[in-house]
Chains A and B, each alone.
Chain A
Amino acid sequence: MTEMFPAFIFIGIGAMTDFRPLFATPKMMFFGAAAQFGIFFTILAVLGLNNLFPELGYTLKEAAAIGIIGAADGPTSIVVASQFAPRLVGPITVVAYSYMSLVPIIQPPVIRLLTTKQERRIRMHYGEANIKKWVMVVFPIGITVLAGILAPMSVLLIGLLMFGNLLREAGVVNRLFNAAQNELANIVTLLLGITIGATMRYDEFLTWRTLSILALGLVAFIFDTAGGVLFAKLINLFSKDKVNPMVGAAGISAFPMASRIVQRMAKAEDPQNFILMQAAGANVAGQLGSVIAGSIILGITPWLVTLLGG
């Protein structure tokens, strides 16, 4: 049941998500990939911490489950944690959702540290794309098929995310669309919170492991942001059309919080600078990227554990 709740939430998220900003600036897709760096860096950090404090005793699967906090995506974190570290589902979920709501506090200092004032003032052209209805209907179907070929384990989450989006774009099932984005999402979030909360027994929750997960979750979000910003700066070295590096930070999945923060910071530097739509494009790409990252981890980790000898 724990695995079905995230899937239902994804129908709601899909119904809420508008992928048009991504169609207007398709290259934002790359930031959705770069901002997943924190996931993999955190897995290494967990394993490094294990070497320093062997009493923590994290296995590779548990390290992967903690790293996925960097997906900045509650449902994905729950799916991976429930398969790899059922006893850590409670702490991982609490930490993932806590840091998602703390994005406005975590991201700005990291962005400021990695960018200059001039870079934060870069303006970007936004061409309002006139996207046809059939394109928006074919998109969720095509993405589900492609995700099934590239990362089969992602089909549960990507498929339902795209099903929710299809309800939105089809335009002929308004009652289902409204139910998915309001009632379904709200009820399932409530039930999920209660179910996860019930797994947090005091003797398993009040431990040093929970504290370490709290610290590692912060590492994941910081390096997600850094990955996105530094990738944008790398692209700027080769590209004629400069990208405002802050947009890279919006590549995390926390939608729409991350894109709003980027816009607020851009406006603080230059009141005439509007990069909200580009940031929203990177943000929705991050939603796809985080699910793909989660499913790749689900697919590869058991194979690596076998290579390690069980």
Chain B
Amino acid sequence: MNVMEAGLYLMALGLFGVFLSLIVFYIFIKLLLRLSRGRSR
């Protein structure tokens, strides 16, 4: 593996990791909103 390939790996894994993390945060926010609506009923 040369350094440019390593850079491409870093880009692919990095963007995947950021999107995955923020999708999990998104689901967490949705869950909190749903729970709060459920408790108010």
Contact = CB atoms under 8 A, between A and B. Distances in A.
Contacts of B6: 60, 304-305, 307-308
Contacts of B21: 33, 146-147, 150-151, 288-289, 292
A150 B23 CA distance: 11
Contacts, number: 121
A134 B14 CA distance: 33
B14 to A, nearest CB: 5
Interface in B1-41: 1-4, 6-11, 13-15, 17-26, 28-30, 32-33, 35-36, 39-40
A37 B30 CA distance: 25
A304 B9 contact: yes
Contacts of A39: 14
Nearest to B9: A304
The secondary structure that dominates the A interface is helix
Given A26-B30, A51-B4, A142-B28, A289 B22 contact: yes
Interface residues of A, number: 48
Nearest to B35: A135
A297 interface: yes
A249 interface: no
A79 interface: no
Interface of B: 1-4, 6-11, 13-15, 17-26, 28-30, 32-33, 35-36, 39-40
